Amino acid sequence: MDDAKGGMFVDGTWQPVSGGVLAVIDPATGEPWAKIGRGTPGDVDRAVCSARQALAGPWGKTSPAERGALLMRISQLIKERHGELADLESRNTGKPRRQAEADITACARYFEFYAGAADKVHGETIPYDPAFLVAVVREPHGVTGHILPWNYPAQMMGRSVAPALAMGNACVVKPAEEACLSVLQLAALAATAGLPPGALNVVPGLGEEAGAALSAHPDVAFMSFTGSPEVGTEVQKSCAQRQAPCTLELGGKSPQVLFADADLDSAVPAIVRGIVYNAGQTCSAGSRLLVEQGIWNAVVQRLQQAFGALRVGRPQDNPDCGPLISARQKERVQGFLEQARRDGIPLVIQAALPGDLPMGGHYVAPTVLGPVPPEHPLVQEEIFGPVLVMQPFEHEAQAIALANGTAYGLMAGVWTADGGRQLRLARAIRAGQVLVNSFGAGGGVELPFGGVKKSGHGREKGLAACYEYSVTKTIVIRHG
């Protein structure tokens, strides 16, 4: 891997930052193990200038087909460096090695998908007055800003910048301070693949410093933010000051609705995986389980078996559940568990933590709680850890009301053999994605993804992202 040396990747090269360095903590041990740069507003400004110059230079003159070829080369290089990138991602985030491998594969897939899309996003002509030709063309915004979270750094990088580059924008990325090493390396790989200097810049640093400077920068024409609703609100306010559009991919409290006629053999493993994967630190985690009353006891029994068998452990040992990202995140999750205990919420099952885990590691035992009343914070707030809360329902209408009964609307799972009910639930649940008889974090690269309500607005993934990262211009020609 290239050596970041605590710097930023700007203008096609490693550069020092002005704000010194920040320590990177190993989630598995709680010990510092690397350093990253602490980018300042001045560093962000240098990156934005570089992006502007790229648009005025060779990058701004590339054809869609050339951009597609470049993105394909980036994808190829990611595949060639798959093992090293997965090691880095696993160490930095604490996620089990196998999950980090899947993330790097997904990152490569984003560049591949948008390589193919670069020259296939067409404009249109509009039948109008016969004396006119009307063409609607799609153009890049210009400089796009990308603020990323720590839970899937490499995947979020691919998801966000690949469509932006495909559409001809120049990107400035501010990854999360907790986990940004793979993001920096990906920018260096893109330069190796031949991406012109300034087309893709990464400035590491703190949210309130580098992140705030990026979202407020007058030359950033479009912002893509993935993170918490609180910070998303600030980013949106900042964009509003200069009327810059933004997409917000925020949190979720996604319901899994389990009817009595569902195939429990396939539903229960998917439900367990839906909350334990990435230690529950997934925006689209299935963190609420709505269970039809008649099968409550059977489902409890199955969950007790499944959670009882879960392996919590060090990332390199490929457990079912690794450590959380930080001591702060661990405290947050433990705070919710403590509140559950104080409020007398029944504990369904808590997995065992092995005794030999490093003392300073950020491990939390996967836990199932329920029944939990609909208004309780465990149901209403995003815990962002391996904690599943159960809610009983008696009939379909109640299930729909409970599913829609939070401020969030990112994703939902529906488990039933009844075709009519599948369709009714898919239509009635307010969410950006509804999966029937399956569940996976965000679905495939091809599938538009994003939220409604407090989960945000705008769409990533699929061709939908190409429309977000471009803007239409209507050209009206009077030819007589």
Does an H or E element contain 255, and which?
strand 255-258
89 forms part of the interface with ligand NAD (CB under 6 A): no
User: Which CB atom, from 73 or from 146, has the smaller least distance to ligand NAD?
Assistant: 146
Q: Which stretch binds ligand NAD (CB under 6 A): 209-217, 289-297, 354-362, 398-406?
A: 209-217
Q: Which stretch binds ligand NAD (CB under 6 A): 12-20, 188-196, 243-251, 309-317?
A: 243-251
| Residue found under tokens 């990464």 | 202
User: Which CB atom, from 228 or from 380, has the smaller least distance to ligand NAD?
Assistant: 228
- Kindly list the strands in the beta sheet with 222-226, ordered across the sheet, starting from the edge strand earlier in the chain: 13-15, 8-10, 200-202, 170-174, 143-147, 222-226, 246-249, 456-457
Give bridge partners of residue 124 from the DSSP assignment.
136
Q: Which stretch binds ligand NAD (CB under 6 A): 57-65, 223-231, 268-276, 466-474?
A: 223-231
Count of residues near ligand NAD by CB under 6 A: 28
C-alpha–C-alpha distance, residues 232 and 410, integer Å: 15
Applying CB under 6 A, among 172, 231, 272, 390 the residue interacting with ligand NAD is 231
Q: Please tell me whether residue 475 adopts helix, strand or coil conformation.
A: strand
C-alpha–C-alpha distance, residues 305 and 285, integer Å: 20
Q: Return the closest-CA partner of residue 333 out of 362, 371, 303.
A: 362
C-alpha–C-alpha distance, residues 344 and 338, integer Å: 10
147 forms part of the interface with ligand NAD (CB under 6 A): yes
Q: Binding pattern to ligand NAD, positions 188-207, x when CB under 6 A?
A: -------------------x
User: Which CB atom, from 77 or from 250, has the smaller least distance to ligand NAD?
Assistant: 250
Measured at CB, which residue is nearest to ligand NAD? 207
Applying CB under 6 A, among 169, 201, 226, 416 the residue interacting with ligand NAD is 226
Applying CB under 6 A, among 25, 235, 258, 369 the residue interacting with ligand NAD is 235
Q: Please tell me whether residue 442 adopts helix, strand or coil conformation.
A: coil
User: Which CB atom, from 188 or from 410, has the smaller least distance to ligand NAD?
Assistant: 410
Q: Which stretch binds ligand NAD (CB under 6 A): 19-27, 246-254, 287-295, 296-304?
A: 246-254
In residues, how long is the chain? 480
Applying CB under 6 A, among 228, 318, 334, 398 the residue interacting with ligand NAD is 228
DSSP string across 178-190? SS-HHHHHHHHHH
User: Which CB atom, from 93 or from 416, has the smaller least distance to ligand NAD?
Assistant: 93
Applying CB under 6 A, among 249, 292, 320, 396 the residue interacting with ligand NAD is 249
Q: CB of 256 within 8 A of CB of 412?
A: yes
Applying CB under 6 A, among 112, 177, 320, 396 the residue interacting with ligand NAD is 177
User: Which CB atom, from 303 or from 325, has the smaller least distance to ligand NAD?
Assistant: 325
C-alpha–C-alpha distance, residues 111 and 190, integer Å: 10
- Residue 205 CB partners (closer than 8 Å, separation 6+): 17, 19, 22, 37, 38, 39, 40, 43, 44, 174, 177, 211
Active site residues: 249, 283
465 forms part of the interface with ligand NAD (CB under 6 A): no
How far does Cα 246 stand from its chain's mean position?
15
Instruction: State the Rg of the chain over Cα.
Output: 23
C-alpha–C-alpha distance, residues 147 and 172, integer Å: 9
Residue 85: CB minimum distance to ligand NAD, A: 19
DSSP string across 373-407? -TTSHHHHS---SSEEEEEEESSHHHHHHHHT-SS
Q: Binding pattern to ligand NAD, positions 360-399, x when CB under 6 A?
A: ----------------------x-x---------------
In this structure, the strands spanning 456-457 and 246-249 are antiparallel
User: Which CB atom, from 62 or from 278, has the smaller least distance to ligand NAD?
Assistant: 278
Residue 207: CB minimum distance to ligand NAD, A: 2
Q: Which stretch binds ligand NAD (CB under 6 A): 221-229, 271-279, 305-313, 385-393?
A: 221-229
208 forms part of the interface with ligand NAD (CB under 6 A): yes
User: Which CB atom, from 410 or from 445, has the smaller least distance to ligand NAD?
Assistant: 410
Q: What are the φ/ψ torsions at residue 292 (nearest 5 degrees)?
A: -65, 130
Q: What are the φ/ψ torsions at residue 346 (nearest 5 degrees)?
A: -60, 135
Applying CB under 6 A, among 55, 115, 118, 148 the residue interacting with ligand NAD is 148
Q: Please tell me whether residue 291 adopts helix, strand or coil conformation.
A: strand
User: Which CB atom, from 24 or from 306, has the smaller least distance to ligand NAD?
Assistant: 24
Q: CB of 129 within 8 A of CB of 155?
A: no
47 forms part of the interface with ligand NAD (CB under 6 A): no
Applying CB under 6 A, the residues found at the interface with ligand NAD are 147-151, 174-177, 207-208, 211-212, 215, 226-228, 231, 234-235, 249-252, 283, 382, 384, 410
